[in-house]
Amino acid sequence: MEQLTQQKKRVDFDLSAFGGDDREEMARMYEETMKDFVAGSIVQGKVLEIRNNEVLVDIGYKSEGLIPASEFGDLSEIKEGDAYDVLLAEIEDDDGMVVLSKERADQQLRWERVLETCAEGSTVTGTVKTRVRGGLIVDVDGVDAFLPGSQIDVIPVRNTDAFIGRDFEFKVLKISPERRNIIVSRRELIEETLRVKKRKLMAEIEVGQRRNGRAKNITDFGVFVDLDGLDGLLHITDMSWGRIKHPSEMVSVGDDLEVVILDVDHEKERVSLGLKQRSSNPWADIETKYPVGSRLRGKVVNLVPYGAFVELEEGVEGLVHVSEISWTKRIARASDVLSSGEEVDIVVLSINKEEQKIALGIRQTEVNPWDTVRDRYPVGTRVTGQVRNFTSYGAFIELEDGIDGMIHVSDMSWTRKINHPSEVIEKGAAVTAVVLEVDPDNKRISLGLKQSQDDPWNTIAAKYRVGEIVKGKVSKVASFGAFIELEEGVDGLVHISQISDEHVEKVRDKLDVGQDVEARIVRIDQAERRIGLSIKAASMPEEEFSRQQDELLDSLRPGEHMVDLAGAFDQALNPDGALEEWSPGESSDEEAEKIDPDLL
């Protein structure tokens, strides 16, 4: 208004040269003309002159305006006299010229045209121009509209660059005239299209039909398949007749699939799909294809601690339990002897068609070595093997790969009580033994170590006599006496009363283990394997010994004091006759001290 007032004053000054009536008429005409020129309005302009970077335009005002040539596009197509709609930005600048813009006029006209043809909720066609933060810019009839990222598609879009330069239909969500802002959505149109397709598909779909779809999403329990308007669930159990750990083993997102309609819930609009149902169930005639006892070849497809799953054909797997892998080896885990992907020979042991389970065996493809063990190791045979392992009651001897025999501690020595096998043999050592018993059903072979040697007591009567003076070495000391080793495997007992003519309070005061002694044999009981000795009688003359022999025997209380090592240790270990547990490193001398003297 200030500009118009100044212009009016200028006009009044310019009209001062006219007469009264003429001047008033000219002023009135000027006032009418000025009403058409308002800043922000669109007026028509005529090209007067084309310069290098500017175009001079006349809008019928007292001054012309200059518009940058860039707003006209190709200058070669512009001619003097051409008319264009331009926006009057300012009535007059510092140079007294109007400020015009063709570009802003075009934008204003395009915006008005869009407002005339578009409304919120209407459908428009646009071209995706560029990507901006939060979405895309869409050109709708020359006006920029905003397409939010959440409204691009019904599924998350990771690569928006694929949309740039392409034409799509959009739904107008909101128009803000004040901000000249339009928000559009492609997703709502897609959802509406899908709803139409879904209604049509639900009316047509039937159980048993085969439909084409595309894998849309994969979860741990299955795959959601887009049936072109409706999502169906392909459960993992309906993907393969065999066993899979995860749906991604068979399907990837975007895969085209042919599925079978298994179930339709019209009320909840849910559809269950199947992939394996495209082929016949391989378990239908499983007993005919794989009868019990048949020998087959399969591939190990999965290893678990308790066995291995072997694939017989696609969709059919059987389990080889660890106990069915070897006849002789004790296998803790199937992975110790088998590898995934390995081909193996197996035998069908049993079939459970209802539960779709097949029990297989690998060891059944070979002869059970225990079936012929009696032929290879008849009772009485001398065998040689390596000591493989110890227990508190014996030692296991490996006779061949997977076949062990056991030597019980009671069969390790003719003359001594063996508390632990390590007293006689060493682990890893080779030993010779005699087969005592063979039990194929329980997979047991009993061996005897002492039976492979001569019983020294068979020749005791020929080698020793009562009254004979013998030399030996103290092998063990107990509270009731000392054991004297006369030869390998043959010990005699000197009772504490037979150590000296003087009273002996403690055996250890007179005798030590390893000490050489000289004693006289006072009694031999071959049946009971007992030899009684007397150190004090060793110094007696023969005549005196003969006179006192009966007294010596009476003082020994035969059958109780005159014991061998085995008999004494039966009492030493447990007065009630029960064998106590032996611990490696425990002294046998200490065990002997446990004997109740009253039992002697």
pLDDT class of 200 with cuts at 50, 70, 90: confident
Q: Rounded distance, CA 271 to CA 448, Å?
A: 74
Same-domain check for residues 144 and 214: no
Confidence class for position 13, pLDDT limits 50, 70, 90: very low
A 10 A CB-CB count for 568 gives: 24
236 and 267 both lie in a single domain:
yes
- For 64-81, what is each residue's pLDDT tens digit? 788 787 777 777 777 888
Whole domain around residue 254: which residue ranges?
205-278
Indicate if 422 and 305 belong to the same structural domain.
Answer: no
Mark whether 10 and 131 lie in a shared domain. no
User: Residue 586's pLDDT is what?
Assistant: 34
State the Cα–Cα distance between residues 197 and 49, nearest whole angstrom: 60
Any residues with CB less than 8 A from the CB of 154 and at least 6 apart, and which? 187, 190, 191, 194
Which residue's entry shows tokens 């121009």? 129
- Comparing 442 with 101, which gets the higher pLDDT? 442
Which residue stretches of 78-158 are H helix? 102-117
Chain segment 450-473, per-residue pLDDT in tens: 888 877 777 777 788 888 888 999
553 pLDDT band, cuts 50/70/90, is low
The answer as to whether 15 is a domain residue is yes
Residue 224 has pLDDT above 90, yes or no: yes
Q: What is the mean pLDDT of residues 52-57?
A: 80
CA 47, CA 70: separation in Å to the nearest integer? Answer: 15
SS3 readout for 434-503: EEEEEECCCCEEEEECHHHCCCHHHHHHHHCCCCCEEEEEEEEEECCEEEEEEECCEEEEEEHHHCCCCC
Would residue 271 count as lying in a domain? yes
32 has pLDDT over 80? no
pLDDT band with cut points at 50, 70 and 90 for residue 575: very low
Determine the longest span between alpha carbons in the chain, in angstroms. Answer: 193
Confidence of residue 24 (pLDDT cuts 50, 70, 90): low
Q: Are 134 and 149 in contact (CB under 8 A)?
A: yes
Q: Are residues 236 and 317 in the same domain?
A: no
Classify residue 518: in a domain, yes or no.
yes
What is the enclosing helix (H) or strand (E) of 309?
strand 307-313
- Of 347, 365, 383, which residue is a domain's last? 365
User: For residue 45, is it within any domain?
Assistant: yes
Q: Band of the pLDDT at 22, cuts 50, 70, 90?
A: low
Statement to judge: residues 410 and 477 lie in one domain? no
243-272 tens-digit pLDDT: 788 999 899 999 999 999 999 998 888 999
Say how far apart CA 514 and CA 523 lie, in whole Å.
23
Return the minimum-mean-pLDDT range out of 154-168, 348-362, 446-460, 570-584.
570-584
Look up the CATH number of the domain holding residue 344: 2.40.50.140
Q: Quick one: angle between helices 20-34 and 2-14, nearest 10?
A: 150
CB neighbour list of residue 450: distance below 8 Å, 6 or more residues apart = 411, 412, 413, 414
- In the three-class reduction of DSSP (H, G, I as helix; E, B as strand; rest coil), residue 193 is classed as helix
- Asked whether the beta carbons of 522 and 553 are under 8 A apart, the reply is yes
The answer to whether residue 572 sits within a structural domain is yes
The predicted structure's pLDDT at residue 296: 92
Structural domains of the chain, count:
6
Confidence of residue 273 (pLDDT cuts 50, 70, 90): very high
Of 23-27, 125-129, 312-316, 449-453, the least confident: 23-27
**Cα atoms in the Cβ-side hemisphere of radius 13 Å centred on 14:** 10
Among residues 105, 133, 153, the one where a domain terminates is 105
Residues 225, 232: Cα–Cα separation, whole Å = 5
Taking the C-alpha atoms of residue 522 and residue 357, their distance in angstroms, rounded to an integer, is 76
- Residue 342 confidence (pLDDT) above 70: yes
Asked whether residue 199 is assigned to any structural domain, the reply reads no
Same domain, 79 and 39: yes
Q: Same domain, yes or no, for 374 and 448? A: yes
Same domain, 448 and 463: no
| 85 and 41 fall within a common domain | yes
| Residue 566 confidence (pLDDT) | 42
**SS3 category, 416:** coil
CA-based angle 56:58:63, to the nearest 5?
95
Residues 475 and 537 in one domain: yes
Whether 399 and 382 have beta carbons less than 8 Å apart is answered as no
Q: Which of 435, 452, 469 is the last residue of a domain?
A: 452
65 and 125 in one domain?
no
* Cα 409 to Cα 395: distance, rounded to the nearest angstrom: 8
| Number of helices (H), then strands (E), in the chain | 10, 30
Q: Is residue 198 part of a domain?
A: no
Q: Is residue 196 part of a domain?
A: no
